[in-house]
Amino acid sequence: MSDNASLTQHRITVLLVDDQHMVGETLRRMLAPENDIDFHFCQDPTKAIKTANQIHPTVILQDLVMPEIDGLTLVRYYRANVATRQVPLIVLSSKEEALTKAEAFALGANDYMVKLPDRLEILARIRYHSRGYINLLERNEAQAQLEKANRLIRKTFGQYLSDDIVDAILESPEGAALGGEKRFVTIMMTDLRGFTAIGERLPAEDVVSIINIYLETMTEIVLKYHGTIDEFIGDAIFVIFGAPILRDNDAKRAVACAVEMQLAMTEVNKRCREKGYPEVHQGIGINSGQLVVGNIGSKKRMKYGVVGRNVNLTSRIESYTVGGQIFISESTMEECGQHLLRIDDQIEVMPKGVKKPITIYEVGGIRGEFDLFLPEKVDAELMDLSKPVLIEFTILEGKHAGDTRYVGTLDKLFEKTAQISAEVSADKLVNLKISLFDYDKNEITSDLYAKVIKNVSKDPAVFHVSLTSVPPEAATFFAHVAVEPTAV
Contact yes or no for 208/275 (Cβ under 8 A):
no
- The per-residue pLDDT for range 249-281, each reduced to its tens digit, is 999 999 999 999 999 999 999 999 999 999 899
Residue 6, pLDDT score:
57
- The amino acid that residue 15 corresponds to is L
Residue 1, pLDDT score:
41
Between CA 94 and CA 115 the distance in angstroms is 5
Between CA 316 and CA 286 the distance in angstroms is 10
Domains (ranges, CATH) in the chain? 12-137 (3.40.50.2300), 158-373 (3.30.70.1230), 383-485 (2.40.10.220)
Q: Taking the CB of residue 95, how many other CB atoms lie within 10 A of it?
A: 7
Phi, psi of 89 (to 5 degrees): -125, 120
Residue 399, pLDDT score:
52
Give Cβ neighbours of residue 429 (< 8 Å, ≥ 6 apart).
Answer: 320, 347, 349, 451, 452, 453
Between CA 153 and CA 363 the distance in angstroms is 30
Between CA 231 and CA 317 the distance in angstroms is 18
Q: Give me the average pLDDT of each 10-residue run along the chain (488 residues).
A: 58 92 92 92 91 94 86 90 93 84 90 87 92 91 78 49 55 50 92 84 91 93 91 89 88 98 96 92 96 73 77 92 94 95 93 88 96 86 90 79 86 92 91 93 93 92 92 89 58
pTM score of the predicted model: 0.61
Between CA 157 and CA 166 the distance in angstroms is 15
Residue whose C-alpha is closest to residue 4's, from 138, 99, 127? 138
Residue 150, pLDDT score:
55
Edge-to-edge, what's the strand order for the sheet holding 89-93?
A: 37-42, 12-17, 59-63, 89-93, 111-114
- The per-residue pLDDT for range 48-102, each reduced to its tens digit, is 999 999 999 999 999 988 887 888 889 999 999 999 999 999 999 887 788 888 8
Residue 158, pLDDT score:
42
Cα 199 to its chain centre, rounded Å, is 7
Contact yes or no for 243/293 (Cβ under 8 A):
yes
Q: Taking the CB of residue 116, how many other CB atoms lie within 10 A of it?
A: 14
Contact yes or no for 468/449 (Cβ under 8 A):
yes
Cα 79 to its chain centre, rounded Å, is 29
398 torsion bin: left (phi>0), alpha (psi -120 to 50), beta (else): left
Q: Which residues of 329-341 are buried (b: 16+ CB within 10 A; e: fewer)?
A: bebbbebbeeebb
